[in-house]
Amino acid sequence: MELSNVAGKVIGLGVCGGIAAYKVVELARELTQAGADVRVVMTPSATEFVGAITFSTLTGNPVRTELFPKEAPSQIPHTDLGRTADLIVIAPATAKTMAKFARGISDDLMSALLLSAKGPIVMAPAMHTEMWENEATQENVQTLKARGVRFVGPDSGPLAGPDVGVGRLTEVTNILAAIDEELGRTEDLTDVRVLVTAGGTQEPIDAVRFIGNRSSGTMGFALAAEAIRRGAKVTLISGPTHLVPPSAAEFVSVATAAEMEQAVMDVASDARVIIMNAAVSDWRPVKNWGEKLKKADGPPTIELEPTQDVLIDLVSRRRDGQVIVGFAAETQELERHALEKVGKKGADLIVGNLVGTEDSGFGVQTNRALLAFRGGEVRELPIMSKRELAGLILDLVKERFL
């Protein structure tokens, strides 16, 4: 198959213990033939299935299996490959390796490789159906997906022994395609200034109470992390959340819609791409009582006034070449509302997402979304992790507008 982004790249190939390891020999060969510098790390159990010499012969590089190699213990630090590889691919990825990585355990060379990785990570799992479907494994997969790990497979079909079901290593061509796509995505936003807003705002009623919404910030933080991974210079402006901002982002914390407006306007003119993901309050109490209201004084009547629409203000001040993306959080009629908003607000693209369902919306790791472009084009998307959706939004921004 045609691989456009592989030549000259250093690829760390982690081979875990499983019968599917024999298929990964072909993966190593294809990557090497396409011009990649393939450095193989095997777990000791992987060497029970395929000999290290098979990989070293095909790749022309020594294979590492131990954290402390006897021949040169101090020369090759265990974090070297993780730090320098353009991409790490784990195939077959076993339940154990995924579990350790999800929990941050580093007790062998494979886990050290993963924990020290700087570039994208692709995982091609293979295991028995029961192990794949186990709640623990599924939770680990969700955790890793949320952190940006790309999964490819597993497929359904015959497994080791007489079993048939989900858990089969996907075809080598699928793994190659995922590697090529991920490599194409690295650095494709180098030095592009991206402003992302995230979370919800809080409009004070008194010293302890506020009007807010259920936005957790997950989608906006995923967008910021993904943009950073692709080389962008990111400013992340967020309402209160429990999330840890990516260290490479310039982070601005705000509370109210007015603070959000101010913070956005302070940096907007420098940004090439602006993604207004924050759930900004549409109204605020006219009066902030300051001191805590006392129950004995009876329920207050809270008069509300509208806040500024930050997105509309941004569009009205848009500078040449600036790309502006909005979100539309809806509980019903997603397509109609998203199309209405793209017209009304004048953004280039509105990402409509369903909120308030079990698998989409506030505080959930996945989203059901559709894209409404200015001009009326609509693209429906399958359910996916917020991190995957972030990648797709940035792909489209790059393809269509940059």
**Nearest approach, Cβ of 365 to ligand CTP (angstroms)?**
20
- The Cα–Cα gap between 96 and 101 comes to 9
**Which residues are CB-contacts of 225 (< 8 A; sequence separation ≥ 6)?**
148, 246, 387, 390
**Nearest approach, Cβ of 199 to ligand CTP (angstroms)?**
10
Instruction: For residue 93, give the 3-state DSSP assignment.
Output: strand
The residues with which 8 forms a beta bridge, in sequence order, are none
Q: Cα 82–108–97 angle (5° rounding)?
A: 80
Candidate list 213, 277, 288, 353, residue with the active-site label: 213
Nearer to ligand CTP, 110 or 329 (CB): 329
* 61 catalytic residue (yes or no): no
Nearer to ligand CTP, 75 or 316 (CB): 316
**Nearest approach, Cβ of 331 to ligand CTP (angstroms)?**
9
**Nearest approach, Cβ of 375 to ligand CTP (angstroms)?**
18
- The Cα–Cα gap between 364 and 130 comes to 25
Nearer to ligand CTP, 86 or 309 (CB): 309
- The Cα–Cα gap between 105 and 148 comes to 18
| Residue of 52, 36, 186 lying closest to 109 (CA atoms) | 52
**Nearest approach, Cβ of 327 to ligand CTP (angstroms)?**
4
- The answer to whether 355 and 386 have CB atoms below 8 angstroms apart is no
DSSP secondary structure letters along 116-158: T--S-EEEEE---HHHHHSHHHHHHHHHHHHTTPEE--PEEEE
Nearer to ligand CTP, 6 or 311 (CB): 311
Which residues form the interface with ligand CTP (CB under 6 A)? 257, 276, 278-280, 282, 307, 309-311, 326-329, 341
- The answer to whether 371 and 390 have CB atoms below 8 angstroms apart is no
Nearer to ligand CTP, 93 or 310 (CB): 310
The residues with which 164 forms a beta bridge, in sequence order, are 158
Instruction: For residue 329, give the 3-state DSSP assignment.
Output: strand
Q: What is the DSSP letter of 105?
A: -
**Nearest approach, Cβ of 225 to ligand CTP (angstroms)?**
19
Q: Which residues carry out catalysis?
A: 213
